[in-house]
Amino acid sequence: MCYTQSRFKALISACVMSLIATAGWSQSLIWLGTLGGDGSWALGVSANGVVVGWAFNAAGQLHAFRWTAAGGMRDLGTLGGTLSEAYGVSADGAVVVGGAVNAAGQWRAFRWTASGGMRDLGTLGGRSSKASDVSADGSVVVGKAQNAAGQWRAFRWTAAGGMRDLGTLGGRSSAASDVSADGSVVVGEAQNAAGQLHAFRWTAAGGMRDLGTLGGSESAAYGVSADGSVVVGKAQNAAGQWRAFRWTAAGGMRDLGTLPGGRESWASDVSADGRVVVGWADNGTGLWRAFRWTASGGMEDLNTTYASLLTNGSVLFNAFAISPNGRYIVGVGSNAATGRIEAFLLDTGFPRRGGM
């Protein structure tokens, strides 16, 4: 084949770009360690690989942490008590949310920044609250809080409006788990009039919508895409088994199945574009294993896909969160090198997409 000079230059340029891209696709698994104690859990990860969660310190207390590649695991402290847990992080890793015990021994939702430290977001009139996630820019926080009657209610917090009760599905309680990138869509679980917990999707215009189940009695939503159109979580099927689901307005609630030979699964988070879902499922031997799901590839055991990174018999039990771009997955597993249950950061090497 004859190449013109321009086509030859284009071919060389393409090859160079391919090599650069491939060099950036290196995969790694990092065990994040602890705060001096016996274990840790990773529960959130930003687009640039900042990880949040909780870890035991040397005194055996659970403390919220923020981990970066440059600085390692940092203890975020408490609100005057002995315990704290971090659950969510903004897209740039600068804002962390979770729950911490105050000096009176009450759990309180917090919002942390490097400049402002840990801020108590209050309650809905009761004693306790916890924050579960935060919008991409860190301005909208969601979670659960007790009202004056002591009932747990899903909340949406902003600096301007404070903490707002999102209501229920006709029952007494609710809890918010995740929020869309712009803070306009909230998902979680709420009691209906029959006392059953059902997954919900909330918007200011439409209020709280019941997403149903997979034929069973209960469900819960844990993750939502950036635009709020895709919701993931767990739901009971007609046989009473918990199954990971992916919901859209057009397709409703879809059962994502299990790992080969397994019976149950649980979806915990979804990428910004709604195409990649992570969670955990039992395998044929009844053991929980972290999974990643795409429409094109189905449910894959991360222990199989990334077996080369799991040295000395280490295992990934649960995948709790995926970064917005799909590159990073965090959770908890067994680190054979230390003999501890430990938080992990899996770098898949490049933003991942899956067919719808």
* Predicted confidence (pLDDT) per residue in 276-318, tens digit: 999 999 998 999 999 999 999 999 999 999 999 999 999 999 9
The CA distance from 226 to 231, in Å, is 10
Residue 354: per-residue pLDDT: 56
Which domains are present in the chain? 28-347 (2.120.10.30)
The pTM for the full model equals: 0.92
Q: Residue 284: its pLDDT value, please? A: 87
Low-confidence ranges of the chain (pLDDT < 50): 1-24, 355-356
Report the candidate in 317, 320, 308 with the shortest Cα–Cα distance to residue 286: 317
Which residues, in sequence order, are CB contacts of 34 under 8 Å at separation 6+?
A: 40, 55, 56, 57, 73, 340, 342
The per-residue pLDDT for 14 is 38
Pairing of strands 207-210, 197-203: antiparallel
SS3 of residue 203 by DSSP: strand
CA angle 327, 330, 332 (to 5 degrees): 155
pLDDT of residue 12: 32
Q: What is the mean pLDDT of the chain?
A: 93
